[in-house]
Amino acid sequence: MAQELKLGFGYIPRYPVYSNTVIHSGDIYVYEDYLQGGPGLMPAIEYKWIINNRFSLATGLQYHWTGITIGIASNYAPSPYPQNNNLNLSEKGTSVGVRNFEIPFTVRYVLMKYKGMKLNLLGGIAPVITAKSAYHYDKVPDGETWSEEKVAALNAAITIPKKSYTNYFYGVSLDYHRFELAYISVRNIDSSLSDGYVLYGETYPFKRKYKSNRIALFFTLIKKNDK
C-alpha cells in the first residue's frame, strides 16, 4: 500500500457564529457580543494511505485559533447588525482564546484524472481538542462602573468553551505532482460548542455553533510506494 506524508497550510476566512443566548443574572445581562470568527491560519500535517487508484484514507493534525467575545450590560436589546448582539450597549467585555487541535479522518475519491492532475472529492470527521485562556480579574478595578458582579461575570467566560467537540467536513481538491489544493466546508456535529456558562456555581445553557470554509495547500514531503 502506497503512503504519503504531507505538510500543509490553510486559510480560514471570516465565518458566522450562531449564538443567541442572553443570560440575565442579578442586575446584568451576559451574551456573546461579536458573532464572527476568523480570519485565521491553519498549519497541518497529514499521513495518507492509498488504497487503490480511486480511494485513499488519511489522518493527521491541524491547528487553528478562535476567540469568544463576551459582553455584559445593564440593559439588553438585540442589535440590528448581524455581526454583534449589542455592541453599542456593552459596558464591559472580555475575550476567551481557544486553541483548537483537530485530528481529521479523511476519505478521498479520485473523480477524474487529466494530464497529471487529479480532481478529488473528500470528506470525513475531525475530533477537536481545545485549550482555552482568558484574562482573570483578581480584584474589582477602581471606578464607579465596576462591581463584584461584573467581575465575576467576566471571569466566568472561561467556562464557556467545550474541552472537546467534533466537526464533519466535505470538499474538493486538485492534485498536481506533489501539490494538493483543497477547498473544504466545515460544520459542527455537536448541538453546541459549549457545555454552559457557570456563574456562582450555577450552569446556564450557552448554545453556540459555527460553520466555516477553508482553503488549504498541501505538499507531499515523503512518498513510500508499494514494493
- Show Cβ contacts of residue 10 under 8 Å, excluding neighbours closer than 6 positions: 41, 42, 43, 44, 62, 64, 214, 215, 216, 217
At 21 the pLDDT is: 86
pLDDT of residue 38: 79
Q: Quick check: 208 pLDDT over 70?
A: yes
User: Looking at residues 48-55, what average pLDDT do you find?
Assistant: 95
Q: Which of 35-39, 85-89, 150-154 has the highest mean pLDDT?
A: 150-154
Lowest mean pLDDT among 67-71, 169-173, 177-181: 67-71
Bridge partner list, 28 = 25
Rounded distance between C-alpha atoms, residue 23 and residue 29, angstroms: 5
The structural domains of the chain, ordered by start, are 2-224 (2.40.160.20)
Look at 135 and 88; give whichever has higher pLDDT. 135
* Model pLDDT, residue 88: 45
Q: Over 80: is that where the pLDDT of 220 sits?
A: yes
pTM of the model: 0.89
Model confidence at 138, in pLDDT bands (50, 70, 90)? very high
**Do the beta carbons of residue 178 and residue 220 sit within 8 Å?**
yes
| pLDDT tens figures, 67-119 | 999 988 877 665 554 445 544 466 789 999 999 999 999 999 999 999 989 99
Distances (CA, A) of 108 to 113, 172, 226: 14, 9, 19
Q: What is the mean pLDDT of residues 123-147?
A: 94
